Amino acid sequence: MSAGRSKVAIIGSGFVGASTAYALALQQNAREIVLIDAIHEKAVGEAMDINHGLCFVDEINVYAGDYSDIKDCDVIVVTAGRNRSPGETRLELAHKNVVLAKEITNNIMKHYNKGVILVVANPVDILTYMIQKWSGLPNGKVIGTGTALDSARFRHELAKKFNVDVRNVHGYIVGEHGDSQLPLWSATHIAGMNVLDYAKHHGNAFTEEEKETIKETVKKAGATIIKNKGATYYAIGITTSTIVETLLKHQNTIRTVSTVMEGQYGIEDVAISLPTIINSDGAERIVEFKITPEEENLLRESAKAVKAVLSEVKNI
């Protein structure tokens, strides 16, 4: 799909929604961006602010709208929800944001006629699962940003450790976007070599303690940023914009997005993140490959953790 005729709706004009719109405009990933917010004036202000700088970028139509503008959207981004407070886990947000997500889904589907729904609001795995079910759309038409940002953080930490360009580091954080997430060390590579082999061949010590430190740094990154500045929004805005680009341009990119499992690694009826091919149709398929028994067990435990919360909110 050509970005020249692309239309994206962003529901929620808070820090994350506005940062996503800003990133989309800077990266020229859409030609029409509509901001929808319960406080319409907030969406108007954000649209004006972005528009006033577009003469230095390109001609993009950014405006405040309402749910009727969902019609003909190629991607519908859901960012609206309560922000995570200091010390609060993403899963603790479930009861507070599921009710709002149900209302948003009902409003979307009144005007929906095409496109992929991309869930960013937290807890993203819970909301992705629920919106997939409420929407009645085929599996894969609703995806969540999941651990895409966590995977980017993981690559960043490894790039610092080994002093290499982050673009030469490839690795995945999978499972829940939250406390039970895990790195797939068996599928982590630098310049085509497994990270452990790379460390060995280039004289870099990489101990189990260092691996655990990186894992914990990535897992706690969001909480650390919230503690220091109150919210996270720049990196998730860029991450979301990149996923939208993939959806608009049918790029068949592999991202660790959240989708409803259908038996992969023995997991089903829950949304978690795994490396997934995404394009303008949504999530085409999950890329299953050989992981270690320990990683597979941890992945299943992560799915169980998300299911435990789902069991409490499914009937809302």
For the annotated catalytic residues, the residue numbers are 177
Distance CA 309, CA 303 (A): 10
Structure token pair of residue 42: 């907030």
Largest CA distance in the chain: 59
Q: Comparing C-alpha atoms, which of 206, 202, 200 is closest to residue 183?
A: 206
10 Å CB burial of residue 288 (0-12, 13-18, 19+) is exposed
Say if residue 183 is preceded by a cis peptide, omega within 30 of 0. Answer: no
Torsion of CA 244, 288, 263, 215, to 10 degrees: -70
Give residue for tokens 């929407």: 135
Rounded (to 5) percent helix, strand, coil in the chain: 50, 20, 30
Asked whether the beta carbons of 218 and 173 are under 8 A apart, the reply is yes
User: Among candidates 154, 118, 149, 151, which has minimal Cα distance to 271?
Assistant: 118
Task: Indicate left, alpha or beta for 78 from its phi (over 0: left) and psi (-120 to 50: alpha).
Answer: beta
Distance CA 59, CA 32 (A): 9
| Residue 248, phi then psi, degrees to nearest 5 | -75, -35
